[in-house]
Amino acid sequence: MKTTQIAIDGPAGAGKSTIARLVADLFDFTYIDTGAMYRAITLKAMRMNIELVDEEAFGFLDDTEFSYVEGRLHMDGADVSRDIRTREVSNNVSLVSSHRLVRKKLVERQKCIAKDQDIVMDGRDIGYNVLPAADYKFFLTANVKTRALRRFRENEEQGLHIPLEDLESEIIARDDFDTNRIHSPLKPANDAVIIDTSNMRIEDVVKTIESIVKEVD
């Protein structure tokens, strides 16, 4: 059976997860947030008190089990979808996801999940590394101010008060790390459609993606 793969990449706060989830719902595809896997591994390493700079210490990944239950990430049988969103995890995940060994193991799993099902997968290297043969590839961007403001509003909604300037500098630092790392840095696939979401509403981005997917089908 021919399945359809949609890859969505982009920097932190560009709206990837929200948009990818809506696109998946629209076409009734499975949605996989690969950033959540890197976050979960970071959370587990922090709980285990291992040195995050030590790539060799991530051998525990082989015994780590992931599943997505109704769109929520479970690790080793427990729902970690909330715990992986803390600021501490956000500020350590770039380092953890820069390790070649960690990427190799997670990419293998991501490829396996995407096999044999219609999928929308979001991340940083999906279009050119995880699913290079994806039917559709999108790269969502937005200026730093817009992205920081989105994070700020999300946090405020959850009762988390972090100054906008702090969020802005954290986003800049994370982008810089993700873009300049050696192994599979953040970048668009050569054949990705680039969408700047700075001045777009979520529903308009979804409509743009929908129209491109339908046009080709």
Residues that bind ligand DC (CB under 6 A): 12, 34-35, 38-39, 93-94, 97, 123-126, 174, 178
- Residue closer to ligand DC (CB basis): 92 or 208: 92
Structure tokens at 25: 């719902």
For the CB of residue 180, give the shortest distance to ligand DC in the complex, in Å.
12
β-bridge pairing 119-123 and 30-33: parallel
For the CB of residue 106, give the shortest distance to ligand DC in the complex, in Å.
8
- Residue closer to ligand DC (CB basis): 125 or 168: 125
- Residue closer to ligand DC (CB basis): 1 or 190: 190
Q: Which helix (H) or strand (E) holds 141?
A: strand 136-141
For the CB of residue 163, give the shortest distance to ligand DC in the complex, in Å.
19
Backbone angles phi, psi at 116, to 5 degrees: 65, 15
* Cβ atoms of residues 90 and 38 within 8 Å: no
CA 9, distance to chain mean position in Å, is 7
Residue 57 burial class via C-beta count within 10 angstroms: exposed 0-12, middle 13-18, buried 19 and up: middle
For the CB of residue 164, give the shortest distance to ligand DC in the complex, in Å.
18
For the CB of residue 174, give the shortest distance to ligand DC in the complex, in Å.
5
- Residue closer to ligand DC (CB basis): 10 or 29: 10
- Residue closer to ligand DC (CB basis): 12 or 206: 12
Q: How crowded is residue 25: how many other Cβ atoms within 10 Å of its Cβ?
A: 13
DSSP state of 199: T
